Amino acid sequence: MNRPEKRNALDSELTRALHDALRAADADDAVGAVVLTGAGPGFCAGADLAEFKDLQDPASAEDRAELTMQLHLIFSRMRTPVVTAINGAAMGGGAGLAIAGDLAVMAEGAKLGYPEVKHGIVAAIVMANLVRQVGRKAAFELLALGEPIDAHRALQLGLVNFVLPAKSLLEESSKLAEKLAAVSRPAMAETKRLFYEVADLGLEVALVRGRETNRRMRNFDKLGGKK
């Protein structure tokens, strides 16, 4: 995200560009993994509140909400794995993007939070992913108090995978992405698809879905697919 003068705040232009870039990367067989980070000292400040003030008519506000929803949804629909390199403050919608990736690496000095309630609004769209990744008490704390947490608390809560010094964040995130890219493309695509499907299913139904994938991948190998 390259809008450092606004701490990479998400206006419609950046939101659409990011969505389209992720979709294009996923469609490109030469791309084995994606690393998402922010230009400058911050990861993403969330929604551009200045733009929201200009969204006076309901249709424009609805279009903007739909665009935001599609951006946060695309990560789970991509075949290609995404690593988020959280180089600085990730707030509101930016926090939602930070944890939307398949793996997340956070700089030691970075902060993550959902301050919407302090502005009299609700962290509505990003709430869905948050409550799926942490316990209910922790999720409600973040949403209702609006206080940011540091990298080590984020790691403790399971919101990120690794905490690293800022100077090595991108290098280590790229190495992690290279490991993901080295995995068989069909295997990675099926892993992602099944992972996000079973996360919200009951155990028995999830096991059935796993059995179906197991059969499909075994047949893929028998037909000469690459492991």
Q: Which residues pair with 52 in a beta bridge?
A: none
Identify whether 116 is a catalytic site residue: yes
Report the alpha-carbon distance of residue 143 to residue 136 in Å, rounded. 10
To which H or E segment does residue 154 belong?
A: helix 151-157
Q: Exactly one of 5, 62, 66, 116 is catalytic; which is it?
A: 116
Q: What angle do CA 32, 160, 168 make, to 5 degrees?
A: 70
Six-digit token string for 64: 């903007």
Angle between helix axes 124-133 and 58-77 (nearest 10 degrees) is 20
As annotated, the active-site residues are 116
